[in-house]
Amino acid sequence: MAYEVLARKWRPRQFDDVVGQEHVTRTLKNAIKADRVAHAYLFVGSRGIGKTSTARILAKSLNCEKGPTPEPCDNCDACREIMAGNAMDVLEIDGASNNGVDEVRGLRENVRYTPARGPYKIYVIDEVHMLTVAAFNALLKTLEEPPPHVKFIFATTEPQKVPATILSRCQRFDLRRISVRDLTARLELIAGAEKLDIDTDALLAIARGAEGGLRDAESALDQLIAFVGRKIREENVLSVFGLVARKTLDELVGTVLKGEIPRTIRIIAELDESGKDMQRLVVELLEYFRNILIYLYAGEGDGILDLSDEQLGILEAHAQSTDPERVLRIVNILTEVDGRLRYALSKRTILETALIRAGRAASVVSIDQVIEQINDIKKNGSMIDPGLSAKEKPQSSDPSVSGKDDVSAPTQSSTVTASRASDEPSEKELNILIGSWTELIDQISHAAPLARSCLIDSRPVMVQGHTVEIGFDPEFESHIENLDVPRNRNAIQRVIGSVLGRNIHVDFKLLEAGEKLPGDTEIKPAVKGEGENMKHGADLDENVQKATHAREKWLRDPSVRKTLEVFNGDIVDVRE
């Protein structure tokens, strides 16, 4: 006997077999029992969740020789023909395949004749939103005054595209995405009957990959049987779907919430190198952070979160390490990236940048904390800023330092801000540069178009005083030679300098293996004289110079500095 695919073999035959749509099947069963079946139904929902199956069961219920009955016999000719898709009285039209004009026109002519065998002529129109306007009009005529022996069952994934005139004549049912619990339970049943050796992690991974669609889940199981046989483990499933292991996802979310940027980047690099789908990763991260958000606002609720108990435990731990404001910011960043990623070639770079931003968003103070701090300032005239490291605190939050000294020395811009340019490597500034690296490259290439292709594979690796190091992987050694001409160097120094608020000197550095990651303290700073800055200063074009001066002026303003500190912010533009 030929192999029958699981989705077909396990297609539900009775209303009670339809997974996760009890709200629909119960109502239909009651309607049949009470003899109150409507003339037209519309089943709405994403693909593979049971719309067509439910339509067929409804058709059987109506035309079964023992019917109408909520439990069709599955034995009579009518039942069998309907399941096989060749019943005379049940016509299935695919709105997507031929736009249905001819078929709907035929339907109008045939609709008058009584059914060949059963009590009803039933028209099942799948993807009804794909019908042309002409087909809709033809259909509407019949829908307005349907003969008593005619029933319509429409299915659609996009109800907003179905004309209101049709919608208003249908009883509408919205089928749900099937929950992970329901999906895994169903898969377990199938696996048992098919004698598969498959563990819980693998089942969960299939459920994740299928995104609430039973048909996709069953197809995945078919694929897995074909690829790896009857013993199926999580890693098999992950590779079929291009999914990231649950544990890795947990870890990645943890690093973002803790603002551990080097680790975040390392994980993304590993995932990219092992060929994981970055777009899919964003979708999964979004769902993860959204779950944390729901947990923070609503707790576990009654099955609000579609998660296993183990996953719930991990989620809880993550939720306790953060607050809703921060998670909201992360969700916003990821939502924006999800849209951009679809059309992007360098998905990894965009995702890295986004997660770095997300990591920063996770470590900034919340609005509530800001309000609290402002109240403290009003009361005491001082500020405690949890966003700053202990090392930086004494310098930057002491109002007497930023107040008088800075303002009294307005002309020596680069030396005044030297208080910010401490001798210690600045992780914070480095993170700012890394986080905005893509944008910075854009700015640099306005003045030095050729620099772009060389910089794209580079990354800032250290900020120390007036020196900024940009690292290159060994394979891009030639980029350094190409970059190191005055025009490029000036453009890079100018743009980075304007971000950091002081003149800087850039060093290009060839990284060794294992030295790739920013924030790596192993990287030794190169000591450079400051004289070079002044030499290049002469090349600065007038506008940029003005902007830099304006920025530096505001950076010396104590209230601006406080605001920047509280928000972990930066001046990006000064409009005067």
**Applying CB under 5 A, which residues contact Zn ion?**
64, 72-73, 76, 79
**Shortest approach of Zn ion to residue 80 CB, angstroms?**
8
DSSP 207-263: HHHHTT-HHHHHHHHHHHHHHHTTEE-HHHHHHHHTPPPHHHHHHHHHHHHHT-HHH
Residue 512: phi and psi, rounded to 5, are -95, 165
At 86, the amino acid letter reads N
**Complex with Zn ion: residue 67 or 262, whichever CB lies closer:** 67
**Shortest approach of Zn ion to residue 87 CB, angstroms?**
11
**Complex with Zn ion: residue 79 or 416, whichever CB lies closer:** 79
**Complex with Zn ion: residue 25 or 349, whichever CB lies closer:** 25
**Shortest approach of Zn ion to residue 64 CB, angstroms?**
3
The angle at the Cα of 347, spanning 342 to 350, to the nearest 5 degrees, equals: 105
**Complex with Zn ion: residue 82 or 451, whichever CB lies closer:** 82
Structure tokens at 118: 């059963």
**Complex with Zn ion: residue 83 or 312, whichever CB lies closer:** 83
**Shortest approach of Zn ion to residue 60 CB, angstroms?**
6
**Shortest approach of Zn ion to residue 24 CB, angstroms?**
21
**Complex with Zn ion: residue 71 or 194, whichever CB lies closer:** 71
| Residue 245 and residue 238 in contact, taking contact as beta carbons nearer than 8 Å | yes
| Among 121, 125, 170, CA closest to 150 | 121
Q: Rounded to whole angstroms, how far apart are CA atoms 310 and 74?
A: 41
Q: Rounded to whole angstroms, how far apart are CA atoms 133 and 155?
A: 17
| Among 255, 249, 319, 321, CA closest to 290 | 319
Indicate the SS3 state at residue 321: coil
**Complex with Zn ion: residue 73 or 294, whichever CB lies closer:** 73
**Complex with Zn ion: residue 79 or 178, whichever CB lies closer:** 79
For 510, the enclosing helix (H) or strand (E) is strand 505-510
**Shortest approach of Zn ion to residue 111 CB, angstroms?**
24
**Complex with Zn ion: residue 75 or 559, whichever CB lies closer:** 75
Buried b (16+ CB within 10 A) or exposed e, 266-297: ebbeebbeeebbbbbbbebbbbbbbbbbbbbe
**Complex with Zn ion: residue 28 or 491, whichever CB lies closer:** 28
**Shortest approach of Zn ion to residue 59 CB, angstroms?**
11
**Shortest approach of Zn ion to residue 151 CB, angstroms?**
16
Can you give 26-93 as a three-state secondary structure string? HHHHHHHHCCCCCCEEEEECCCCCCHHHHHHHHHHHHHCCCCCCCCCCCCCHHHHHHHHCCCCCEEEE
| Among 534, 521, 448, 443, CA closest to 484 | 448
**Shortest approach of Zn ion to residue 213 CB, angstroms?**
28
Q: Rounded to whole angstroms, how far apart are CA atoms 56 and 40?
A: 14
**Shortest approach of Zn ion to residue 36 CB, angstroms?**
21
Structure tokens at 381: 């005239």
